[in-house]
Amino acid sequence: MKTRDKRFALFSALEAGSSFWTREIAAHGVDDVFGRVLAKQYDPIKYATIIEKVSSFNVDSAQIQLSSCRSIFLTPEDTDWPLRLDELEAPPIGLIVKGDASILNSASLAIVGTRNPTPYGVRIAGDFAAGFVDREYSIVSGGAYGIDSAAHRGALAAEGRTIAVIASGIDLQYPAGNARLFDEICENGAIVSEVMPDVRALPHRFLTRNRLIAALSQSTLVVEAAFRSGSLRTARDAAELFRPVMAIPGPINSPASEGCHRLIGERAAELVTSLADAIELISAL
């Protein structure tokens, strides 16, 4: 079996974002870790499910599955691999990509926020997305309802490109209500997943994929977020990579803006009130 196929087998069996398996692959390489798994040199009880998945992996069936989804398996050895991801503490073993994989290396801005935005937040997310694509940036977000959708739509309305990083398999298009939006994104952008097709989104996978949103982007903008929000996790992931984090202020009595105010108050994000502010901040770095 080729090294690429062994990587594909490990990708199909291992939970994304695992520090242990990342360290193992970094230290020993894909071929060695694959061989150790098959030889049951890792705890055969603790890792029984992983061993079974790797042992039963059929690369031809997996490729047919990807082809039916019009997607590809992208690895660090491929020319389109986004090198920014290698800065993560636990970089992905690979990615499933539908659309134009080359966009993953473009200048990009992440726009994230609540699934329950106010009309103000929707307008701001769309306006900033449109303004950045006019300046040749791609917009990265998570494909969810709310601010994510507003950011993707703002980019598309301005005839720009956008990337959706999702927590489910590439074929599931979660949430289902955004199926048409995902189709539009793929026309000249991309959808990215760190799990195999047919794998459902689970709560912890949203947090895991947030690090990809942060790492794919040169900067992250939080538009509206609750005091405790997955968007704040994305902001902190970006900060850990020393990428600029920006936040839009809102009304002081708006629960939807409490997370943004928290980031600004903790000096974890720069306050921006206009597109010019954001461009200036990113250009200065």
Residue 131 belongs to a domain: yes
pLDDT for 35 equals: 96
Where residue 150 sits, what CATH number does that domain have? Answer: 3.40.50.450
Residue 245 belongs to a domain: yes
Residue 199 belongs to a domain: yes
Same domain, 30 and 122: no
Same domain, 140 and 31: no
> Which structural domain, as residue segments, surrounds residue 246?
101-283
Residue 51 belongs to a domain: yes
Same domain, 48 and 172: no
Angle subtended by helix axes 230-240 and 258-265, to nearest 10: 30
Is pLDDT above 80 for 143?
yes
CA distances from 115 to 224, 236, 253 (A): 9, 19, 18
Q: For the chain, what is the domain count?
A: 2
What integer is the mean pLDDT of 55-71? 95
pLDDT for 52 equals: 96
Same domain, 121 and 43: no
Is pLDDT above 80 for 173?
no
Q: What is the pLDDT of residues 96-134, one digit of tens each?
A: 999 999 999 999 999 999 999 999 999 999 999 999 999
Closest listed residue to residue 123, CA positions, set 160, 150, 101, 85:
150
Same domain, 157 and 255: yes
Identify the helix (H) or strand (E) that includes residue 212.
helix 203-216
Q: Please report which confidence band the pLDDT of residue 285 belongs to, taking 50, 70 and 90 as the band edges.
A: low
Whether the bond between 175 and the residue before it is cis, its omega within 30 degrees of 0, is yes
Same domain, 120 and 24: no
SS3 of residue 10 by DSSP: helix
Pairwise CA distance, residues 220 & 242, whole Å? 11
Which of 23, 38, 57 is where one domain is finished?
A: 57
Residue 125 belongs to a domain: yes
Cβ atoms of 122 and 233 closer than 8 Å: no
SS3 of residue 241 by DSSP: coil
Q: What is the pLDDT of residues 209-261, one digit of tens each?
A: 999 999 999 999 999 999 888 889 999 999 999 999 999 999 999 999 999 99
Share of the chain above pLDDT 70, in %: 99
What integer is the mean pLDDT of 128-148? 96
Same domain, 38 and 152: no
pLDDT for 242 equals: 94
Same domain, 215 and 136: yes
Q: Per mean pLDDT, which range of 135-139, 188-192, 205-209, 215-219 is the poorest?
A: 205-209
Residue 86 belongs to a domain: no
